[in-house]
Chains A and B, each alone.
Chain A
Amino acid sequence: MSKIEVTPGMFSKVEAKPSFKTAITLLSSALVVFVFFGLLGKAGDVKFVWSDKRELIQLPQWVISSTTLCLTVGGLLLAIAAVSLWLAIREKKTPVWLVAVFGLLAMFALLGWLATGATQGVQMVFILSNTLVLAIPLILGGMAGIMSERVGVVNIAIEGQLLTGAFVSSVVGTMTGNLYLGLVSAMIASGLLSMALASLAIKYLVDQIIIGVLLNVLVIGVTNFLHSAWLDNDSAHLNFPGTFDKISIPFLSDIPVIGQVLFDNRITVYLMFIIVPVLWFVLFRTRLGLRARAVGEHPLAADTVGINVAMTRFWWVTIGGMIAGLGGAALTIGNVGSFGREMSGGQGFIALAVVILGRWQPIYVTLSALLFGFTIILRIWANQVSPGIPVDLITMVPYLVTLVAVAGFAGKVKAPAASGQPYIKG
């Protein structure tokens, strides 16, 4: 293999064959909506409820025939798919915004179809606010992933970090009766776990994947053991912290729909609102971020200009772990109210996928995590409004959504060049 990076334009490129991947995905999804939801769909009306009963300003409900909705939306989707096909034939790419519009429309049709005939209708506020709450562990886990991969350490221990945070916050929160103390302890505990990962990877050069797997298994084992041997005996005094109170932000929370979704939340959500933009700012606008990215791209080059590679990696991984700990706390004291065995349920691994889908960029990663959060709530909600639907079919939806997302957004995905590579000072 050549060692020299190929500079664009240096070698001519083979004419790209038109890629029909996106067009075909869009077309088949559009056909599903049009034929399956529309033509063969359920007869009856669907009710879109835009406002929660508690809200000051009540938006009118919107009632429409399911068939009309799905046929209309399906028609629009077919039109978009046709545009995409036409672009593909002309060897052009389908723009990302068009795929996003497609996705939103398709979700609209899906929600309508699922809620046909259900008395409660499509409760938009319920769906959106739960999307956000359920996405918090994914988002914060994703931030942890960004922080460590950007400095060149592959962190597959996010699962363990989330679980540690969930466990510690619940236990400390219950025992002290102070949830904020639980939150801080969760961050410290996950931070310590990350320090173990960081020092094994950086100082002792142990394979990063292996440490990650090991830490995950260790945390699952320890928390399971403590849960059954200790917490179960007296869960009222050990594992019953409750959740943070919701904080309504004056005025903003009165805005229809988004007010309730965004500005009537627990502190874990507000912390996420702060962490994501701050991380983006630090990464791309400050000296700290430039140096961190340099370490993740070319550690030797960073070393030769006097940047301490080992310390940079150590602290970024550790602080990332603290953020993941916060995400774990969001599972317990930020949502459910107690710790359950293996309650992170693979979300740490989904966070890894989210990091890749979001291209190691905090904002994109957050959007990808929200997409996953939506699929989680969709599963729960669909079961309520439309009990006849086979559960297996609904559990497929998240993966179909991911497929569409990947087809639309993937392309030139490039990880930090030194991610996963130990830096040995020679």
Chain B
Amino acid sequence: MKLELRNITKRFGALVANDQISLTLAPGEIHSLLGENGAGKSTLMNVLYGLLQPDEGEILIDDKPVSFSGPGDAMAAGIGMVHQHFMLIPVFTVAENVVLGHEPTGVLGTLDLPAARKLVKEISDRFGFDIDPDAKIQDLPVGAQQRVEIIKSLARNAKILVLDEPTAVLTPQETDELMQIMRDLAKSGTSIIFITHKLREVQQVSDRITVIRLGKVVASPSPKASASELASLMVGREVDLNVKRKAPKLGAETLVIENLTVLDDRSHQMVDGVSFSVHDGEVLAIAGVQGNGQTELAEAILGLRKIHSGTIHVAGRDLTKSTVREVLEAGLGYIPEDRKKDGLVGDFTIAENLMLDGSYSAPFAKGVQIDFEARDRIANELIQEFDIRTPSAETLAKQLSGGNQQKVVVARELSRELKVLVASQPTRGVDVGSIEFIHEQIIAARDSGKSVLIISTELDEVLALADRIAVMYRGRIVGIVDAKTTREKLGKMMAGIAA
């Protein structure tokens, strides 16, 4: 089946998310759609999948124009989508999820589960997926859940499969497996649109590449293009993928964590006897696949989560049972992983967001009153210093791009007197320009003698910043290794195989 998108334009108010985008997909082809966060890739795919209606342009299948008013139409036309956030129902079995929406039935609309099981088994065996049709989704690891999503599309006879940032939740090994699955699928005649911002993966599997920037197609480079070539096309200028930094000058152990155990609400040990320490002037990065306890670790250090056992010391002071304010005042800076939820108040101005953590004391407060003059002066200084691209300090935080929002968070945290900086996913969903800037700021903090703890699921980021790397798996530290460790070895550690 041949697919063509012709001059698709989609506007949201004044914003043009897709501007005259054209794209073709031949049968059995893997076509990578490369672009930064916010470039318009997901919008385009939602148009293709019938979730959004294009303002202009048309979709052609086998040279015939089609229009989709909903995902049902797109599926009927043979388009399947594996969403970034899985569309699976955790309490249902694999078979139930796969057949949902087109269930085989017997008399009176009764479910024919044996037929559903057979269908899953058949597809699973054909591609060597090894999926038990009766397993509940919530009991499956993420990689397997993704294969269930693929089975779900194939069970609907999808000839075109759209994979939206499929590797974000996978270990490097699982990523390799997925690449192999993609090649097998293409060989069997399924066409694949592969949406990603990861250059390495694009180079590995693509038959064809389209680069999108700011809603426009900017280039269709050859699949053999180099990483730096792809990066500069994606960003629109020369990009230096390596952060320049000097050898670390190690000082005292300032952040010391011993045997830390943190539970979730069902008594799972999300952080399970973790011990490590960070020296002044050093970056320790916690690597690992998302959901292995990193979030809970960061929240526990800040005092957001109750600590079951173990201790946290900052510069010799015991902060195990301290409140968040005590922890902040002890000199800890915190960049949360989800800036929109935990880092900013979207409906507050930038100036207000910049004083969130110090609103009760000098320089922001005079007695019980806010010192508005000081607030605005400091806001304008930080906007300059941290290169926050905004019309004014009075702009609402939610109106900024992801990168600039993140700079607001970084500016607020780094403008205090810090001993320790804890940054969780500091560049998630941020454009490359801002990534470079934020990375420089983090390295500058380290060079000025602060202890820096980075928590990141992006191996590239870990390798760019870390002096030492601790790999976390199922709540435990698999090992702490130096920054020269190979990707392969780190990948194995991320899957729980000790160094």
Interface residues of A (CB under 8 A from B): 1-14, 16, 285-288, 290-291, 293-294, 297-298, 300-307, 414, 417, 426
Contact = CB atoms under 8 A, between A and B. Distances in A.
A286 B111 contact: yes
B87 A290 contact: no
Contacts of B290: 2, 4
Nearest to A418: B89
Contact of A297 (B90, B111, B142, B308): B90
A304 B87 contact: yes
Interface string B35-46: 000000000000
Contacts of B263: 14
Given A2-B291, A6-B264, A14-B308, A304 B90 contact: no
B296 A2 contact: yes
| Size class of the B contact interface (CB-based, 8 Å) | 35 or more
Contact of B110 (A1, A2, A285, A298): A285
Contact of B269 (A1, A11, A291, A301): A11
A285 B267 CA distance: 33
Contacts of A3: 291
Contacts of A305: 71-72, 75, 87, 100-102, 152
Interface stretch (B133-141, B231-239, B313-321): B133-141
A6 B266 contact: yes
A297 B296 contact: no
B92 interface: yes
B70 interface: yes
Contacts of B293: 11
Contacts of A286: 105, 108-111
B101 A291 contact: yes
A290 B267 contact: no
Nearest to A8: B139
Given A4-B142, A297-B90, A13 B267 contact: yes
Nearest to B87: A301
A8 B139 CA distance: 6
Taking each of B140, B291, B308, which has the highest tally of chain A beta carbons within 10 Å of its own beta carbon? B291
Which are the 10 A-B pairs with shortest beta-carbon distances? A306-B72, A305-B101, A4-B291, A301-B87, A11-B268, A287-B103, A2-B295, A286-B109, A14-B267, A297-B89
Nearest to A298: B89
Contacts, number: 120
Nearest to B88: A301
B341 to A, nearest CB: 9
Given A4-B290, A11-B293, A297-B90, A288 B109 contact: yes
B114 to A, nearest CB: 13
Contacts of A11: 264, 268-270, 272, 293, 474-475
Interface string B385-422: 00000000000000000000000000000000000000
Contacts of A294: 89, 92, 100
Interface string B262-284: 01101111101000000000000
B100 A10 contact: no
Given A8-B139, A290-B103, 19 more contacts: A10-B141, A11-B293, A12-B269, A12-B474, A14-B263, A14-B268, A286-B110, A287-B103, A290-B111, A291-B103, A297-B91, A297-B92, A300-B87, A305-B71, A305-B87, A305-B100, A306-B71, A306-B75, A417-B91
6 contacts: A2-B296, A4-B291, A5-B138, A11-B264, A290-B103, A304-B49
A420 to B, nearest CB: 17
Contacts of B117: none
A304 B83 contact: yes
B163 to A, nearest CB: 14
B269 A7 contact: no
A306 to B, nearest CB: 3
A10 B140 CA distance: 10
Contacts of B49: 304
B475 A12 contact: yes
B296 A287 contact: no
B109 A287 contact: yes
A302 B102 CA distance: 11
Taking each of B88, B102, B267, which has the highest tally of chain A beta carbons within 10 Å of its own beta carbon? B267
